[in-house]
Amino acid sequence: MADTYGTRAEADAYLLARGSTAWASATETARDAALIRASGYIDGRYRARFSGRKAEGRAQTREWPRVGATDASGEEIGETEVPSEVLDATFEAAARELSSPGSLAPDFDAGTLIKREKVGPIETEYATPIDAAAARPVVSIIDDILSGLLTSDSATTTGGVSFLLRA
């Protein structure tokens, strides 16, 4: 079973075509590690919004390929297929992970989310998100790429707090 969506060669072609000089100059080891982390991000952030179920059940490492999956138009996705949208989104995530390792999976400490801060006399109010999903960054290009595969928008705004990461 694959640790990543796509190969290093596919990621190289995708990112080099988009002018990613940082990707081109990175070592193979660094690119491979970024692809593994990016694949984990795609699974963790979007698994609840992918239709169907894993083709090989719990024995399958990644969320794709899937059985019973359809795109937003209702067209069936083959049971052995990893959609190009998943590959492209993974490559975008890998570029971000390469430039800032761990940025797509930050540690979550609810006590550090400041809702309001007043300087005199000193006052700080902390936000209370429902869970750690609120701390995970939203990368708009990845959302856009995957939009044709996703079933619902409810999972992206857990706790009413979202973070937008722009590169």
Evaluate whether 34 touches 5 at the Cβ level (below 8 Å).
no
* Inter-residue contact 141 to 92 (CB < 8 Å): yes
Residue 128 confidence (pLDDT): 59
Predicted pLDDT at 156: 42
Residue in this structure with the two tokens 């939203």, named with its chain if needed: 138
Distance CA 147, CA 142 (A): 8
Residue 64: predicted pLDDT: 98
Ranges under pLDDT 50 in the chain: 154-164
pLDDT, tens only, 109-133: 655 555 556 667 876 666 555 555 6
Whole-Å CA distances, 98 to 25, 78, 129, 151: 11, 31, 28, 29
What is the 3-state composition of the chain as percent helix, strand, coil, each rounded to the nearest 5?
45, 15, 40
Q: Which of 91, 86, 83 is nearest to 11 (CA)?
A: 91
Q: What is the pLDDT of residue 162?
A: 41
pLDDT score, position 159? 38
Q: List Cβ neighbours of 120 (8 Å cut-off, separation of 6 or more).
A: none
pLDDT at position 130: 54
